[in-house]
Structure formats: C-alpha cells, structure tokens
Structure 1
C-alpha cells in the first residue's frame, strides 16, 4: 500500500492545537490599586481555533477486482486497505466483470474461453464455483436481484442480445426480452420490482426501458434522437442515472425519476464521461471524465448540479466504485506500463495505491462485509 499525498491536513491541525495551548498559558499582570505595580493576574479571553473536519475512518470492507498478474485475467479479492490480496478463480479462462452479491458472500462474473463466454458465481469463503450458463453464444453483464436469489444477464444466443433471468443456483433459466434489435446493460431496481436496461435499434439509436422480472410491463423511459445507455439505480430506487450521447465522443450524465419524468442532464456536453456511480446516500454521482483532454474523476451533486474534480492529471480508466460508507472511491489508473487500483478519500483527496503488480489490476467493486 503506497501513500500518494502528504499529510498536510494533520500538520495544520497539530499547529492549531499547539497555538491554542500557548495562548491559554499566557498571563497578563494588572495593578488594581492604580500604582502601576503588578498585583494580580488576569486570564485573557480564549482565542477560538478553527474547527477542522476529522479525517475519515480507516477503510473497511473488501474489494473484488480483476488482475492478470499471473498471465490470465482472474477474479481477486483484497481488504479495503490493499492487504491480503488473493485469487478467487484460476484456470485458462479470462474472468472479468465481477459483481458482489447483496450479502457480500458471493461474486458473479463473466468467464471467457476460446469457445464461449458464460456466467459463473464464486463463493468467497470456500472458493466453490457455480456455473450458471453453458451456451456457445456470449453471456455477459450479470446483475443480482436485491434478495440475492436471481441474476439477470445479457445473452447473444438468439442472434442478437436479449435479457435472460436465472436462479443463483443455476436453475430456472428463462428469456426475459424478445427484441428485434438488442437489449443490454440490465440493472435490477433496489425494490426488486423492475429491471432497467438499454434497448438498441437498427438506426444506431438506443433508449432506456423498464420491464418487470416476470416479463410484463415493458415501458420506455427515454425516446429521443440521441443514444441513451447504462442505467444505474439510485440507492432508494426513486431515480435512474444514465449516459446520453449528444454527439460523437461527447457524453452527458443525466438523471430521471423511475417513471421517466423530470429528466435533466447534470454534466456539460463537451467531453466523454464514463458510467456514473451513485454515492451510498444518493446525493452525488461520481464518474470518469475526459474533461479538458485529461482523464480524471468528477463528482456531481444531484440536487443542484454543482461539481468538483476528485482526481486530476491521472490517466483514469474504467469506472469508480464507492466505499459502502461513502468516504472513499476506488478506481483504476495507468501507473506507467500497467494498470493499478487506487483509493481516494473524498474529504482530504488523499490517494492510496492499493495494488502494485506487473500486470493489469482493475474493475474494482466494494462491499462492506
């Protein structure tokens, strides 16, 4: 684990405490008789010191990520401070897109071989693998139901991408959508009642749709002339954030109510932005941004649209992941000749390098357990 930034905040705090102590110990002698002598001591009015925000608590939880440090991309896990890094998967496949189960005990992921791409689940404690799909076509992008019992995913087994649902034990496979074009990017609502996804059309456009897990209630939420993609539910399920593409290499970060109303875009349409991630309190969105031609991480307040840069001047790749307490973000960035995983404290902007391997380390996802 490597600290990237000095502890300037703590030095200032220590200086403030020392200054207060010195002032408190000083005395002023006053002659109460008017003769000019020194007869009694008066303690001066205390000088208030500025209150500095305390640093965040130590990082907690665990982070799952992808690494090819041993030749093939595998699913790895580590503590939130970067310690105890170990592989969860092995073999000749290329494993990626790890997704934590809601209870933090299992990880769903995509496993690719020369023949096909399928969905697996690995038990974090035992390492036991469950193969969910076994089809010559590509199965990808698993998303858990909030109760951890089912997984929705996209599959190309019908000649174009459609959504399927399967039980977490591998039983009960069924097709969810039947589109002439393609359905991808599924995201299960926090209440389990709806699945948001991207529906593509032959004119290279795409929109955000909702469907119930039983296949009923297909509803379009967006219907404009520009592509919309990557729906992400707010923690309370009342809103959906997504990306909109007004022109080539330009991406807006937008939000809307779960019924498609009150749509508004929060970012400025001048550069490319990655998939947004909701803060645990639902107040902010963090995302990779190519602002000014340099990739970094931006954070936008959802209510008023105010933004600030969290990471600048670093070749950030992929999408950030919030810590469960909302104090930190994990992200991947180019460390010269390879990709590494970093962590930034939101309040202090202190950056910590979590991985340091000769290969690719990326796609971090955080859980509290």
Structure 2
C-alpha cells in the first residue's frame, strides 16, 4: 500500500468515526444551571459526591452536590476567593487555593472537623492548581514566579521536602499525578514560541518530559484515568474543531478520540472513579458542569 492510499484510508476512517460520534454522540446530563459560573467538577473517591467552584454569591466559593446535581451547598463561607478544589485521594479532605492573605496560597478543609489549614510553602508567588499525590501526604502545585514563568513543584502536605519538577522560562500549569505518583501531566507553552499550549508528561523517576499533543493544536487540562489507561483532555484541533472539545488518548499520546461535539467550549474534564463517565465544564453565556455518560444511560 503506497503512502497516498494509506493517507486516504486514515482520512476516511477519521471522517467516518467523527461523523458517527457526532450523529449518535453520548448522552449528557447538565448538573448546574443559573446566571453564574460553575466549574472544576470532580468526584470523591467512591463517586457519591461532586466538588466544584461557583461564583453565584459574587465571589468564588466551594460547593458540593449529589451526582445528579441536586443538594448543592457551600462547604464554608469566607470573604476571599476560594478556588479550584480537589479531593484527598482517600479522605473527606479538600485541597483548594485562596487569596485570603493577599497572595494565593494552598489550604485544606476537613469536611468532618470543619477545620481549615494553610499549607505553608516557603516560596514567594501565587500557588495554584494544587493536587494530592496518591499517597495523600504529598501534593503538586504551580508556582507563578512571574507572569511569564510558572513552575511546577512537589511538596509534603506540611510544606516540607519541597522539590522542583518542571523548571523552564515558560508557563507550565495544571499538574496532575497518576495513581502511582510516577508521572505528572501538565500543559505548557514551552518549545512553541509561547503560542499554543501543549500537553506533556513528566516522569518523576527518570525526570524526563514527553510531548503528547501537537504544537499546532491548543491542548490543555489533561487528567489521568483512575483504573484504565485513557487520558482525557481538552483541545482545539487545527482545521477540525472551532471550539475546545473533549478528547481521550492513550498515555503515550496515541489513539486520540473525540468525545464532545458542540459549538461551545468544553474543558476541565475529569473521570468518574471507574472511568465510566466524565465531568466537564462547558462555557456558554455562563459556565456550567455537565456529566458525559460514556457508558451509563440516562
């Protein structure tokens, strides 16, 4: 089979699969609504509760809701912007960022005791996009050293054993660790003339970085699976999508498959505990959280 025939085969295969998915699609359930923004939806360990942020009260605050979108309630009240909440891997503890001191710092909230604790990290700059490692005692975050230089660090939950994982003069954001803690996903504008964002993995053991998406596309907000091997992410693919859509790919960047098809921007995808469904944020007039039912039916 010559190269021209091979390329034609893959083109027809791609169009067929894309059209089929667009016509049949996946069922969706809209979980939030209202004249305000809701985003960063994530499941807890057993999939019984969803954590998210909302500005419905005039500033960013942290909420939970049932998996059907009901019983939405704020976890606690503050005069600050409390943002980007994520779960502890096996406890009802929430990691979040807040500007309550004038600088964005990382905090934990224990749902049982209602205690809020600051993670005192000895670095100057805003700390964002915090996430626990699978061991529950270490975490990842992005340090905004300056507007053009965002670095990724690893640290103990008590602020000790600080280690730099990704260090370059570019914007490196949204670090996510896999279950074993052996690799970190992030997106960056490095090696790309500071234009489009590209998704990379950082191997914690051998300290090497691998590129998973193309420079010509804008890809970001990658998230590891819980039990499988499909990374989920958002992207605007050159000459294919006009808005940000959700795709999956293997952990080596192969076998990219499109999940969402609409004229709005979908991003911030997260798997359910058994990788059955997805939570995504969709930006129309306001941002809302949707559940993409990959296997579960309405």
TM-score (norm 2): 0.74
Partner of 2:218: helix, strand, or coil? coil
Distance 2:67 2:256 in 1: 36
Trace 1:1-369 onto structure 2 (pairs within 5 A): 5=23, 66-68=31-33, 71-73=34-36, 95-113=38-56, 116-122=59-65, 127=71, 129=73, 131-132=75-76, 134-169=77-112, 171-178=114-121, 179-246=123-190, 247-258=193-204, 261-293=207-239, 294=241, 295=243, 296-303=245-252, 305-311=253-259, 314-315=262-263, 316-326=265-275, 331=280, 341=290, 343=292
Aligned-residue Cα RMSD (Å) equals: 3.8
**Cα distance change on mapping 1:276 and 1:226 into 2, 3 Å:** same
| Contact 2:277–2:291, Cα closer than 8 Å, also in 1 | no
Larger Rg: 1
Specify whether residues 112 and 319 from structure 1 end up closer, same or farther in structure 2 by C-alpha distance, changes over 3 A only.
closer
Distance 1:110 1:312 in 2: 22
How far, CA to CA, are the matches of 2:268 and 2:218 in structure 1? Answer: 13
Q: Is the 8 A contact 1:321 1:331 kept in 2?
A: yes
How far apart are 1:257 and its partner, in Å? Answer: 2.4
Cα–Cα, structure 1 residues 264 and 131, in superposed 2: closer, same or farther, change >3 Å? same
In structure 2, the residue matched to 1:84 is none
Distance 1:297 1:64, change over 3 A: closer
* Secondary structure in structure 1 of the residue aligned to 2:238: helix
Which whole-Å deviations, capped at 9, do the CAs of 1:35-77 have from their partners, x for residues lacking one? Answer: xxxxxxxxxxxxxxxxxxxxxxx99xxx985432xx445xxxx
Match of residue 22 from structure 1 = none
Q: Pick which of 121-130 and 289-298 moved more.
A: 121-130
| Cα distance in 1 for residues equivalent to 2:85 and 2:23 | 36
Q: Which has the higher contact order (CA 8 A, sep 6+)?
A: 2
Q: Aligned pair count?
A: 270
* Unaligned segments of structure 2, at least 5 residues: 1-20
